[in-house]
Amino acid sequence: MVKLSVIVPFYNVRAYAPDTLRSLRANAREGVEFILVDDCSTDGTAELLRRAQEDIPGVVVRTHEQNGGLATARNTGLDAARGEFITFLDGDDWLAPGYYTELVAHAERLSCDFVRTDHVQAHARTRTVQRAPHGLRDVPLDPRAAILPATRSTMVDYPYAWAGIYHRRLLDRGLLHFTDGLRTAEDRPWIWRLHREADSFAVLGLLGIFYRRGVASSLTQIGDMRQLDFIRSFDQVVRETAADRDASALLPKAVRNYCAIISHHLGSMERFEPPVARALKSMSAGALRRMPQEVLDEALDSMDVGRATLLRRLRRRPAKAVTAA
């Protein structure tokens, strides 16, 4: 019986994949399968995965014929997963030895739909512990109650799919797949859906995932049109939250988050190519006009003057056709 399925997408991470694969080997156990998804790499990553299939117990490789992005690659892994529990890892991150054994043991003890964990950010030689934004640890909780309050960081602001473990019943209910084709912010609709629709979760202070920051090939470091998929992602969050039974309570959080992300991207315009920067302004203006306007007004009133003024000015910007290379 497969106890745990670990889904690991890879795309052109030849420089970092050896660390990832060594850490998988240090977590190989009976009943653990590693589903490695090559998202059409062109830099030699595919050969590393082929060798890993021969060297690491439990490795299965799936290969895309064309690049589909992280969301699509994770979905490929989910379609192949056989485990009672499911988790994720990115192809440029790594694990502490024996981490998955501890994680599964905690998940079995707590008997929740899903469990979330802290993680370690790794930037060059610097290591920083990042805590999940919930104070109550090691007890079952209501996922819906952990969405609010709107004005503080909550569990939907900690969207990392790899920082947790998920029972198969969520997959069977259709709650674990990602929106196909999203190139960035793919985990935002995903984490909101989990917290709206799952029945129970818990938070652990377990450390064992090392999240590598500053990777040149990461989409967080690339200023092309793929970055603007955050708009499609948050449009989905707002649309689905508006249809929820508790929409009046939850929408202020969704809209405020959307505004904060737009403001963040506008504040770092220098990293975007000029056509993308123009598209960002135009698409963000359209997004603001699509939001529930009364909820948006309340969200802007709750933000600092600088961000609120910027977003109000952007909302009045005339609509233009978007073109970008």
DSSP annotation string for 127-172: EEEE--S-S--SS-B-TGGGS--TTS--GGG---TTSEEEEHHHHH
Using DSSP's 3-state secondary structure scheme, residue 186 falls into coil
Each residue's pLDDT tens digit, 153-179: 999 999 999 999 999 999 999 999 999
Average pLDDT over every residue of 196-222: 84
Res. 126: pLDDT tops 60: yes
The reply to whether 325 falls in a domain is no
Are residues 204 and 230 located together in one domain of the fold? no
| pLDDT for the residue numbered 318 | 74
| pLDDT for the residue numbered 324 | 44
The reply to whether 323 falls in a domain is no
| pLDDT for the residue numbered 216 | 56
Are residues 209 and 296 located together in one domain of the fold? no
Res. 220: pLDDT tops 80: no
Q: Which helix (H) or strand (E) holds 201?
A: strand 201-204
Are residues 54 and 173 located together in one domain of the fold? yes
β-sheet with 119-123: strand ranges across: 94-95, 209-212, 119-123, 126-130
The reply to whether 320 falls in a domain is no
Supply 98's token pair. Answer: 């024996």
**Spatial CA neighbour of 160 closest among 233, 73, 90:** 90
| pLDDT for the residue numbered 320 | 62
Give the chain's domain count: 2
Q: What is the mean pLDDT of the chain?
A: 94
Average pLDDT over every residue of 73-95: 98
The reply to whether 321 falls in a domain is no
Domain of 175? 4-216
| pLDDT for the residue numbered 224 | 80
Are residues 245 and 203 located together in one domain of the fold? no
Are residues 211 and 182 located together in one domain of the fold? yes
Domain-terminating residue out of 165, 195, 216: 216
Domain-terminating residue out of 177, 200, 216: 216
Work out the widest C-alpha separation in the chain, in whole angstroms: 60
Reported confidence tier of residue 319, pLDDT bands at 50, 70, 90: low
Domain-terminating residue out of 162, 181, 216: 216
The reply to whether 322 falls in a domain is no
Are residues 26 and 88 located together in one domain of the fold? yes
Between 207 and 320, residue with greater pLDDT: 207
| pLDDT for the residue numbered 321 | 54
Report the DSSP pairing between strands 32-38 and 4-10.
Answer: parallel
Each residue's pLDDT tens digit, 26-66: 999 999 999 999 999 999 999 999 999 999 999 999 999 99
Are residues 262 and 287 located together in one domain of the fold? yes
Average pLDDT over every residue of 76-88: 98
Res. 323: pLDDT tops 90: no
Average pLDDT over every residue of 228-245: 97
83 DSSP 8-state letter? -
Res. 325: pLDDT tops 50: no
The reply to whether 10 falls in a domain is yes
Each residue's pLDDT tens digit, 287-318: 999 999 999 999 999 999 999 999 999 999 87
The reply to whether 236 falls in a domain is yes
Reported confidence tier of residue 215, pLDDT bands at 50, 70, 90: low
Q: Which helix (H) or strand (E) holds 324?
A: none
Are residues 198 and 227 located together in one domain of the fold? no
Are residues 106 and 248 located together in one domain of the fold? no
CATH of the domain at 118: 3.90.550.10
Please, are residues 281 and 317 in contact by the beta-carbon 8 Å criterion? Answer: yes
Res. 214: pLDDT tops 90: no
With a threshold of 0.75, does the pTM exceed it? yes
